[in-house]
Amino acid sequence: MHEFKEIFSSKKDLGLLLLLLLMEFTRGAFFLTFLPLYAVNYLGISVAAAGLVVSVHYLVETVFKGTAGWQLDRRGYPILVLGLLLGMAALLVMKSYQTVPVLIAGSALFGLGASPVWLAVISGV
């Protein structure tokens, strides 16, 4: 119980936890709810293509998690900021150009951008 008081009393730790909450909420809402429904019902993309977009995101995130951790250890929090900016750019690209190849590339970039977030929060908290 004492550890929770320490975590919740630090502004840095609260900021990191809030960042993690927002990132995971955005990711879950976009890739698990919005994108499959929107792609199939409004863009006319097949269910298989929408599933491929979601799968590519999680595959790229998992594959690059080790590299992201290594870079995070070497360079620190700028890697976290770079990942967040890359994720934001990927979401904007996917919103602007709604074709299957762009959605696949954007979801891969978003997975790459999301890979250092958990690592940075856990090592920071």
Entry pTM: 0.85
pLDDT value at position 57?
Answer: 95
Sorting pLDDT into bands at 50, 70 and 90, what band is 7? low
List pLDDT tens digits, range 77-100. Answer: 899 899 999 999 999 999 999 899
* Cβ-count burial 33-46 (b if 16+ within 10 Å, e if not): eebbeebbeeeebe
Joined together, the tokens standing for residue 23 give: 């990132």
Give pLDDT, residue 5.
Answer: 67
- Give the residue, 83 or 1, on which the prediction is more confident: 83
